Amino acid sequence: MSTVANIWRNLPLKAKVGAVLFGIFLLTAIIGPELAPYDPSFQNPAPNLLMAHPSAQHWLGTTQVGQDVFSQLLDGIRQTIVLALLVGIIATALSVIVGVTSAFLGGLWDEFLSLLSNVFLVIPALPLLILLLGYLSGRGQWPTIIVLSVLGWPWGARVIRAQTLTIRNRDFVAAARESGEKSWRIIAFDIIPNEVSLIAASFVNTVLYAIATSVALAFVGLADLNSWSLGTILYWAESQQALQLGAWWWFVPPGLAVALIGTSLVLLNSGIDELGNPRLRASRGMERVAGHRVWATDPTPVLSQLSSSRTRVAAFLHSFSRGSLLDETPAGGELR
Amino acid sequence: MSPILDISDLSVVYRTPGGDVRAVEQVNLTLSAGEVVGLCGESGSGKSTLAYGATRLLRPPALVTSGSVLYSGRRITSGGDPVDLLAMDHRELRATRWREIAIVFQSAMNALNPVLRVQDQLLDAVRAHLRMPRNEARDKAATLLDLVGIPRNRLRAYPHELSGGMRQRVMIAMALAADPEVVIMDEPTTALDVVVQRDILAQIVELKETLGFAIMFITHDLSLLLELADKIAVMYAGRLLETGAAQDFMRAPAHPYTRGLLNSFPSLHGSRRELTGIPGSPPDLRDPPPGCPFVPRCGYAVPACTAVDMTLEPVAGANGLVAAGAVPGGPAGHLTACPIVTPEVSQEGVLS
C-alpha cells in the first residue's frame, strides 16, 4: 500500500490531474448506465417535456422527442470509452507485434512489414472510413472498432520498430542471445520492458485518436445511430437543430465530455512521458531545495544562506505541493 | 605554511524524497600552497562530492548544510583575510573559478565537446577568464599544449582524433589556462592504462614544480597516492577516517579501513604476503549507523565503536617506530578517527 502511495506521490502533477479526470470518466462508463434515471431511448410523449430545460426530474433537460439527455450522456460515455479502449488495445497490440517483429527479425521480414505499415500510413484514412462505414453501418459498434484499429496501428508500429532497432543492438541483448535465450524470450523479457513507456504513450495516443475519429464519424452519421454514443448524441442534436433552437443542454454536455476525456488523455500521455524519461523533468532546469528554487546553473546552495522568507499565505499554499515533502524530511530520513 | 584552502566542518547532503543522503559529513581538510593532497576512497564515499561541494559546483538536489571553505590565494586576498567560498555569490564565484581554483574533470571524453576543435575549447577557457585579444589567446593555447607535451599542430584536432592520454592532457592544459593556485583533479587517470597513467602523473608533478600550484588529487587508488601525494586523506561513507603524510600511511596506517586498502594490493618489495580485500559494502548514507560507519566491515570492531564521535585525533600510543616516521610539527600531522585501534592493539594480532 505504501509503495502505491509513494508512486502516486512521485507522479508529475500533469499525470495526477489526467489520471483523476480519466478515472472519473472510466467510473462513469462502468456504473453510469446502471444509475441512469431513464431509458435513454424512451420518448416521453408529455408535451411539456419536449425540448425541456434542465429541471429536477431531468438534470440535463430533454430532447426534441422527450428523451432524457442525462441518461443518454451516461450511456454515451460508456459506448465511446469502450470503443476507444478496444481500438487502443487492438491497434497497440498490432503495432507492437509488427514493430518488434520487423525490427527484431530484420531482412526480408523487415522490408515487408515496413512496406505494409507505410502503405497503411499513406491510405487516406477519413475517405476510407466514410466509404467502409457507409457499407457497414447499422451493425453496432464493431465495424467502427475494426476499421479504426486497422487504420490506427502504423504510427505506433514505426516508432516501436525504430526503438527496437536501437535496443536490439545493445550489449545486453547480445548477452542474452549468447546465453542461449530463445528469440521470443529476448523479445518479451529484454526488449519489450524497455519500451513500456513508449507503448503506453502509443496506447494513450491511439485511444485519443479513436475517440476523436469515432465522434467525428458518428457526428456525420456514419455509425449505428440507434445506439447512444457521444457522437450520436451530437448527431441527433445537430440534425434536430438544437443549436438554432438554443437547446444548449443537449449539445454542450456531450461536447464537453469529449473535450475533457481528450484533455485527460493528453495530460496522462505527457505524464507517462515524464515518468519514463526523467530527463524531461530535469530539463525544466529548476528544483526546489529546502523550499527555495535552485536552477541547475546556480552554485550549490548553502543552507545557512537560504533565508526562509516565505509569507504565511505562501507557506500555506506551499504545504500542498510535492516540494513540501522535501522540506520536512528530517535529517537521516524518517520518511519512507 | 598557511593553508591556501581550508575546508572545515563541511557537510553536504542530497535532498531526496526518501530522506537526506549525507554524502559528506563534517569534513575538515586543509591544502597548503604547492602541496599535493590526495583524497582517497571507494566509489560513493563522497570524495567527488566533497571537492565539488567545496567549489559550489554540485547541482540540486545537493545542499551544503554546514561548514566553511576558506580560500586565501594571493590574487583574491592579497595578504588580507581569507574569503569563504560558501558565502560567495554568482559573480564572485565566477571570478574565483579557473583563475584561482581550476578543475580537471573525471572523464575527458565527456568533458570535451566532441564537435569543437581542441583549439576552440582552449580558447574558450582562456578568453572567458583572462580577457585577452584573440591572437594572444591563440598563442596562449599553443603554449598550454606545449606545457603538457602535445605537439602544436594538434590544436586543430577534434577530441576524437586524440588518444585517451592526450585528451586527458588537454583537460589538464585547460585547467592551467589561467594559472590557478589550486587544481582539483578528479580521477584524472582512472580511464587510462598504467603506462600512460605514469606519464601523466610525472607530467603533473613536473608542472606542479614549475608552476607552483596546489593539487587536490581525487582517486580510488591509494597506491598511486603513496607516491604522488604529500598528504593523504582517506574517506569512507562521507567522513574522513585518517589523514597524514604519505610516509605515515606507508609505515603505520592507523585506521583499520586504511590497512584494508593497503592490504588489497601487492607491494613490489618485501616478503610475499596474502592479499586481503575488505569484505562487505558501504552503509546506506540516508540512515548512517551511529559512531564509526566502518563498524560492520571492521575486523577490530568492539561495542564501543558505535559511540565513536569520528573527530580526527593524533595517532595515540605510538611506539618508537611510528614516532620516527611522523613529520615533527608539520601541518600534515598523522590523524585518525579511530581511537579504538592503536598500534599496540594491532601488534597483538587482533587483525583477523
Domain limits, CATH 1.10.3720.10, in chain A: 14-38+68-282
Least confident among A300-304, A308-312, B79-83, B165-169: A308-312
In terms of pLDDT, which residue wins out, A303 or B240?
Answer: B240
Chain A contact for B59 (CB, 8 A cutoff)? yes
Contact A301 B60 (CB under 8 A): yes
Per-residue pLDDT, A318? 63
Q: Name which of B20, B24, B94, B284 to mutate to probe chain A: the one with the most chain A Cβ atoms within 10 A of its Cβ.
A: B20
Claim: this prediction has a pTM higher than 0.90: no
Cis before residue B331, ω within 30 degrees of 0?
A: no
The angle formed by the CA atoms of residues A315, A320 and A325, to the nearest 5 degrees, is: 90
pLDDT tens track for B204-235: 999 899 888 999 999 988 888 888 899 999 99
Cell representation of residue A246:
438554443
What residues of chain B lie within 8 A of the CB of A336, using their CB? 18-19
Between the ranges A54-63, A254-263, B14-23, where is the mean pLDDT highest?
Answer: A254-263
Instruction: Kindly give the interhelix angle for A196-219 and A69-105, rounded to the nearest 10 degrees.
Output: 140
| Distance from C-alpha of B117 to C-alpha of B187, rounded to nearest angstrom | 24
B313 pLDDT more than 60: yes
Per-residue pLDDT, B249? 83
pLDDT tens track for A157-216: 999 998 888 888 888 888 888 888 888 888 888 888 888 888 888 898 899 988 988 888
Per-residue pLDDT, B39? 92
Smallest Cβ distance to A300: which of B16, B56, B89? Answer: B56
| Distance from C-alpha of B256 to C-alpha of B160, rounded to nearest angstrom | 43
Per-residue pLDDT, B37? 92
B339 pLDDT more than 80: no
Average pLDDT over all residues of chain A = 79
Return the domain boundaries, chain B.
101-179
Per-residue pLDDT, B12? 92
Residue A301: closest C-alpha in chain B: B63
Contact B15 A326 (CB under 8 A): yes
CA A139 to chain centroid = 26
| Distance from C-alpha of B351 to C-alpha of B278, rounded to nearest angstrom | 12
What's the rounded mean pLDDT across residues B150-157? 89
Q: Name which of B21, B63, B91, B93 to mutate to probe chain A: the one with the most chain A Cβ atoms within 10 A of its Cβ.
A: B63
In terms of pLDDT, which residue wins out, A49 or A120?
Answer: A120
Q: Which residues contact A187 (CB under 8 A, 6 or more apart)?
A: A100, A104
B75 pLDDT more than 80: no
In terms of pLDDT, which residue wins out, B350 or B267?
Answer: B267
A102 with A113: CB under 8 angstroms? yes
Least confident among A64-73, B32-41, B42-51, B311-320: B311-320
Per-residue pLDDT, B327? 42
Contact A303 B66 (CB under 8 A): yes
Residues facing residue B51 across a β-bridge: none
Per-residue pLDDT, B274? 74
Contact B20 A301 (CB under 8 A): no
A24 pLDDT more than 50: yes
What class has domain A14-38+68-282?
A: mainly alpha
A88 pLDDT more than 50: yes
Smallest Cβ distance to A289: which of B15, B22, B287? Answer: B15
Per-residue pLDDT, A40? 77
**pLDDT interval class at B325 (50, 70, 90):** very low
Contact A335 B19 (CB under 8 A): yes
Chain A contact for B334 (CB, 8 A cutoff)? no
What residues of chain A lie within 8 A of the CB of B49, using their CB? none
B319 pLDDT more than 80: no
Chain B contact for A287 (CB, 8 A cutoff)? yes
pLDDT tens track for A245-265: 777 777 888 888 889 999 998
Chain B contact for A39 (CB, 8 A cutoff)? no
Chain B contact for A304 (CB, 8 A cutoff)? yes
Residue B10: closest C-alpha in chain A: A302
**pLDDT interval class at A330 (50, 70, 90):** very low
| Distance from C-alpha of B170 to C-alpha of B30, rounded to nearest angstrom | 28
- Rounded-to-5 percentages of helix, strand, coil across chain B: 35, 20, 40
Residue B62: closest C-alpha in chain A: A300
Distance from the A320 Cα atom to the nearest Cα atom in chain B, whole angstroms: 15
Chain B contact for A303 (CB, 8 A cutoff)? yes
**pLDDT interval class at A283 (50, 70, 90):** very low
CA B94 to chain centroid = 22
What residues of chain B lie within 8 A of the CB of A6, using their CB? 17
Contact B19 A10 (CB under 8 A): no
Per-residue pLDDT, A93? 93
pLDDT tens track for B246-276: 888 888 788 888 888 887 777 667 777 777 7
ipTM exceeding cut-off 0.85 for this assembly: no
